[in-house]
Amino acid sequence: MKPWHRTRRLGQPVELRLDHIMASVSLPALFPAIRLGREYFGDGSLRQAAPLSPVVHLGAERILVIGVRNEQPTKLPAEGEKVPYPPLGQIAGYLLDVIFSDSVYADLERLQRINTTIGRMSQQEFHEQPLKIIDTLVIVPSADIRDIARRHIYEFPHSMRLLLRAMGGLHKTGSQLLSYLLFEAGYCQELIELGRQDGLAQADKIHALITSVAADVAIGSDNWKTRL
């Protein structure tokens, strides 16, 4: 893999270790930065506007994306219903959701547009340009992770619960924040089991992704592949 550079971001070939993974999830003010070489790294996706970019640069032809939202539409307030002002915990939860989720779906839409464009090329045009069709599969939880987080509120340390209560994070509207801050055993075990069940439910699609050949998509048609 060769180094690459884009506006305000770059990639360097390194041997990935545990420290790289810890640095990649090190959200400022919540988790400590990790020293790699001469510098400290800590981002937690804050500046990862194109989260699919690294795997594309690594040469991926198929991408499995595992989401953290079940994408069920939020129930709108009834007409005339008085909606309370959102507490800080609810606002913080939405901010984290924007950081971790919105950029992924925006990047997926960008990838789908590229796939569509390539699929409409002639054979000659396709072989004269460097882009390629990348097959994608998106799996989202079958259950609302916010509901799971609410069931494990009391696994937080007492001091953390006091802070969250002061922020309004223990209210139902603050469950988005809880779902990102909980790392306790009971919560993680329930998430792992949910992931196992959802993976088995999508086994056929996962197998199709792994065994598919993106280059088989007919160039000159709209038959490019993406699955949700």
Does residue 222 or residue 68 have the better pLDDT? Answer: 68
Cβ neighbourhood burial of 145 (10 Å; 0-12, 13-18, 19+): buried
More confident residue, 215 or 208: 208
Structure token digits, residue 179: 């779902």
Q: Is the pLDDT of residue 159 over 80?
A: yes
Q: How far is residue 75's CA from residue 150's CA, in Å, rounded to a whole number?
A: 18
pLDDT value, residue 213: 58
Q: Average pLDDT in the 137-151 region?
A: 93
Mean pLDDT of 58-86: 84
| pLDDT above 70: residue 226 | no
The radius of gyration of the chain from alpha carbons, rounded to an integer in Å, stands at 21
Label residue 223 by pLDDT band (50, 70, 90).
very low
Confidence (pLDDT) at 79: 82
- The pLDDT of residue 44 is 63
| % of residues, the chain, pLDDT over 70 | 93
pLDDT at residue 174 in the model: 83
Q: Would you state the pLDDT for residue 9? A: 80
pLDDT at 73 over 50: yes
For the chain, the average pLDDT equals: 85
Please state the pTM of the whole predicted model: 0.79
Judge contact between 113 and 42, C-beta under 8 A.
no
Q: Is the pLDDT of residue 205 over 90?
A: yes
Q: Is the model's pLDDT at 26 over the cut of 70? A: yes
- The residue among 72 and 183 whose pLDDT is bigger is 183
Q: What's the pLDDT band for 27 if we cut at 50, 70, 90? A: confident
- The two structure tokens encoding residue 79: 């007409």
Confidence of residue 72 (pLDDT cuts 50, 70, 90): confident
- For residue 134, the model assigns a pLDDT of 92
Pick the closest to residue 30 from 47, 17, 43, 49 (CA basis). 43
What pLDDT does residue 168 have? 85
